Each structure stands twice: as C-alpha cells, then as structure tokens.
Amino acid sequence: MTLELNQVAPQIKAMGQSLAQLTTTRSEALDVARQLLTRYAAEFDQLSQLVDRAEQVQEKQRFAWVGAAPTHEALDRAYPLPACPEQITVLASDGSQIYPDPHAIALYYLINVGVIIYRHGSNQKPVTHNHSPRLVFDTEDILDEQGRLISAGEVSVQRDLAELEALVQHTPAAAEPVVALKDGQLTLRVIDLPFDQQKIYLDLYLAQLNALRESGGLLAGYIDRPRSTFVLALLHLALLEMANISEENLRRTPFRALTDRDLFDFLGPGERSAVFAVRAKGLEKYSESGHAIHFFYLNVAGSEQNSMLARVEIPAWVAANPVALDTVHAVLVRQARITGSYPYVLARADELAVILPEEREAVEMMLAVEMRRHKLSPELSWKQQNKNAYRAPKESFK
C-alpha cells in the first residue's frame, strides 16, 4: 500500500468539521438568495440592464461574465407538470471514445455512438442502433501540423458532433411530437482547440442544429446533478447598485458555497423553474443562428420524499414555443419515472455507447495480431510496461 492512511485520517477529520461549518454558511447564504429571487421575480428590465452592465465591465477582461438572464417567466415560480402527449417519440444518443495514447502499441482513436428510439403509446419495443465505430489512424488525422498528437479535447469534440449527427439522422418524420435528447450541455466545447479548428467544428455543429430544427424535432440537453451557478450570478448582480458593478465586486460573490440546485430545491415532483437564457462569451454564433441557449431546472422525482433536480438546456426555438416547452418538460419527467431517477433513453444510449475495458483490450489484441501479420512489432512504451508489471498480482512470500 502506497497511500499512508494514518496521515490522511486527521485530514479527513478536519474535512468533516469543515463540511459541518459549511452547512451553516450555506443556509445563511441561501436565505439571502431566496429573498432576492422573490423580490426580483418580475423585474425583468432591471435585471437585464444589470446583466448588460456586467458584460460591459468584463468585456476586456480575460474571463467574461457568465450567468443567466431572465426571459418572461416569474423567477420564483414553480411551473407544474403539464400533460404528456399519449403518442410521442423520444430518442437519445450518447458516445464514448478511446483517446489516442502515446504509450500504446500504435497511435489511433476510436469513437462509438449509440442511439435509442422510444415510441410512447405505440406498444412497440424501443429500437436501438449501434453506429459503425469510427477508428481513426491516418497520420494526418492523428498528428497536427507540428507533428504533435491531437488533444483529447479534439476527440471529445468529434464525439459530441457524432452524437448530434446521429440524432439528426434518426429523428423520424412523424405526426406525433418528436423529442431528441442529448446527455449534457447543448454547446460544443471548442475552447481548447486552435482558433481555426474552433470555427470549422462550430460551423459543422450549427449546421446539424439547423437540420434538427428543420426536421420538426425538439431538442434538449439533460444535465444530471448540475453544479452550475448561472441564476446565483444573476442574483449577485441584484445585490449591487449599477455604479458598483466592477470586476472586483463581481468576483466577491456571497453565494460561493451554493449552486443553483440549492436555490431551486423548493420545486416539487414534476415541477420546473422559470426558463432563463445563458449569457456567456462565445455563444454569439448560437444566438445569431437562432439557437441561443436557454435552460430550466426540473425535479423529475415521483414523490415528495426525494428531490432529483436536473438542469435542462433547450435552444431558443424550443424556449419560445409554449407547446414545445411543455412537451419537453412532460416527456423528461415521464422518461425519468421509468427508471425512477433518470431518463430511460439516456441511460440506454449510454449502455449502447460505452466501451468496456475488455472491449478495449479486444481492440488492442486485434490490432496486435494485424501488426504482426505485417511483420510489425506491437510494443507498449517502457513506461506502460513498467506500470503493467507493477499492477500485476504479486506472488505472496511463504
């Protein structure tokens, strides 16, 4: 054993004391936040002006202001569960990957995507699709212009793009409503990529969003156990006078120990919060294309005993349509209650997409056999060989 547990034990004790103290701090901050949520529940114009001012203050700084802006719904209201259409189609996609590894027997990466289609009210079994895994190994796709291995971030971007493409491909033309679900946020994380690649991938992603909108399907991203603080950032602005909004004051939030999930834990089973708009630098192209990102919090629990809050992201064209909004709201609760906690189609899509350790080992074995057939030597790096030897079961001394 390499971890000295006897040295960790007193730190664990200190952590327990800190968590207990934090409970009191959180409770006091939450009382203030709730009061602000009620006080400014319908002050849409005033809050919007505060948001604009915060963005102006942060415009030339390294990090822009990130938070929520109000729409037209009362901030402190709990919106009840609407009736779900009896006939409705729900589909979800998810993806997983094997990242390129410089210590493996060869350089490659692999992306796997699964899709499930569930037709409520049809008495049909859900239909699943495993897209053909994409194995990438050509030098120009693995190495950049400087000969460096592409980043895990670029592989993740390609996976997310493949997930959205799969949703577009399988969104059926149907008389009943169709809801397409994506695990996680709707935006594509391109910030870690070189600027020219950011534009290429974002344009591809926006084209897929356009195609999904034109198909008539409704899109939502589901974030389980969110830790975002968008609404709390908005309430922090409400504490400040317009003249006092500065970079320094924006950093000194009294709600640092809280998340939006704490703020909205008053939502009852099936209820959602108001819809908010996300305000953050880098989302301009989404807004210009009609896909401005909005969100609401949703309690998918089936009873008062448990609170199961998720953040649901929707594009502007869903947020602006009351019927579409109600449909997404209702179907997410209906799907989550199949499993008791989490939308069924998202859980199944994850099962379809996941690459198990033994499957990765099988890929490596197949690759090793093929390399030997071509008289190549499939060898791990010395570092990886040493790690494998260290982790292997050791013979006991007798």
Q: What is the 3-state secondary structure (H, E, C) of 82-119?
A: CCCCCCEEEEEEEEEEECCCCCCCCCCEEEEEEEEEEE
Distance CA(137)–CA(276), nearest Å, equals 43
Distance CA(53)–CA(69), nearest Å, equals 12
Let me know whether 148 and 194 are in one domain.
yes
The model's pLDDT over 223-279, given as tens digits with 9 standing for 90+, comes to 999 999 999 999 999 999 999 999 899 989 999 999 999 999 999 999 999 999 999
Would you call 216 helix, strand, or coil by DSSP?
A: coil
Let me know whether 275 and 374 are in one domain.
no
Does residue 104 sit within a domain?
Answer: yes
Let me know whether 387 and 270 are in one domain.
no
The model's pLDDT over 9-20, given as tens digits with 9 standing for 90+, comes to 889 888 887 877
Q: Which domain holds residue 387?
A: 361-391
Question: Do residues 74 and 274 lie in contact, with contact meaning Cβ atoms separated by under 8 Å?
Answer: yes
Average pLDDT over residues 202-222: 96
**By CB neighbour count within 10 A (0-12 exposed, 13-18 middle, 19+ buried), where does 11 fall?**
exposed
- Please say if the pLDDT value at position 397 is more than 50: no
Let me know whether 222 and 181 are in one domain.
yes
Q: How confident is the model at residue 175 (pLDDT cuts 50, 70, 90)?
A: confident
Average pLDDT over residues 135-156: 89
Does residue 260 sit within a domain?
Answer: no
Give the CA radius of gyration of the chain: 24
Backbone angles phi, psi at 139, to 5 degrees: -55, -45
Q: How confident is the model at residue 174 (pLDDT cuts 50, 70, 90)?
A: confident
Of 70-74, 82-86, 306-310, 331-335, the poorest mean pLDDT is in 306-310
Dihedral-angle region of residue 56 (phi above 0 means left; psi in -120 to 50 means alpha; beta otherwise): alpha
What was the pLDDT predicted at 5? 83
What was the pLDDT predicted at 381? 60
Let me know whether 142 and 221 are in one domain.
yes
Distance CA(276)–CA(357), nearest Å, equals 40
**DSSP assignment letter at 67:** E
Would you call 70 helix, strand, or coil by DSSP?
A: strand
Does residue 48 sit within a domain?
Answer: no
**By CB neighbour count within 10 A (0-12 exposed, 13-18 middle, 19+ buried), where does 51 fall?**
buried
Let me know whether 386 and 328 are in one domain.
no
Q: How many CB atoms lie within 10 A of CB 147?
A: 7
Distance CA(53)–CA(67), nearest Å, equals 13
Distance CA(40)–CA(75), nearest Å, equals 7
What was the pLDDT predicted at 147? 84
Does residue 33 sit within a domain?
Answer: no
- Please say if the pLDDT value at position 176 is more than 80: yes
Q: How confident is the model at residue 108 (pLDDT cuts 50, 70, 90)?
A: very high
Question: Do residues 236 and 36 lie in contact, with contact meaning Cβ atoms separated by under 8 Å?
Answer: no
Distance of alpha carbon 326 from its chain centroid, rounded? 21
Please report, rounded to a whole number, the percentage of residues in the chain having pLDDT higher than 90.
71
Q: How confident is the model at residue 283 (pLDDT cuts 50, 70, 90)?
A: very high
CATH number at residue 211: 3.30.2170
Let me know whether 118 and 204 are in one domain.
yes
Distance CA(223)–CA(200), nearest Å, equals 26
Give the count of domains, the chain. 2
Of 25-29, 154-158, 184-188, 258-262, the poorest mean pLDDT is in 25-29
- Please say if the pLDDT value at position 396 is more than 60: no
Let me know whether 221 and 316 are in one domain.
yes
Residues 6 or more apart from 301 whose CB is under 8 A from it? 269, 270, 307, 308, 341
What was the pLDDT predicted at 313? 98
What was the pLDDT predicted at 304? 81
- Please say if the pLDDT value at position 398 is more than 60: no
Of 153-167, 333-347, 369-383, the poorest mean pLDDT is in 369-383
The Cα-based distances of 24 to 19, 258, 262, 263 in angstroms read: 9, 12, 14, 15
Let me know whether 367 and 271 are in one domain.
no
Q: How confident is the model at residue 369 (pLDDT cuts 50, 70, 90)?
A: very high
The Cα-based distances of 10 to 5, 15, 23 in angstroms read: 9, 9, 20
- Mean pLDDT score of the chain: 91
Question: Do residues 277 and 242 lie in contact, with contact meaning Cβ atoms separated by under 8 Å?
Answer: no
Does residue 329 sit within a domain?
Answer: yes
**Residue-by-residue DSSP string for 293-330:** EEEEEEE--SSTT---EEEEEEEHHHHT-HHHHHHHHH
The model's pLDDT over 45-67, given as tens digits with 9 standing for 90+, comes to 999 999 999 999 988 776 789 99
Let me know whether 305 and 380 are in one domain.
no
Distance CA(293)–CA(317), nearest Å, equals 10
What was the pLDDT predicted at 13? 85
Let me know whether 343 and 386 are in one domain.
no
- Please say if the pLDDT value at position 4 is more than 70: yes
- Please say if the pLDDT value at position 153 is more than 70: yes
Does residue 45 sit within a domain?
Answer: no
Does residue 17 sit within a domain?
Answer: no
Let me know whether 128 and 180 are in one domain.
yes
Does residue 368 sit within a domain?
Answer: yes
What was the pLDDT predicted at 240? 93
Q: How confident is the model at residue 394 (pLDDT cuts 50, 70, 90)?
A: low
Question: Do residues 331 and 318 lie in contact, with contact meaning Cβ atoms separated by under 8 Å?
Answer: no
* Long-range contacts, 355-363 (Cβ 8 Å, 24+): 355/96, 355/97, 355/98, 355/110, 355/112, 360/98, 363/98, 363/110
**DSSP assignment letter at 149:** B
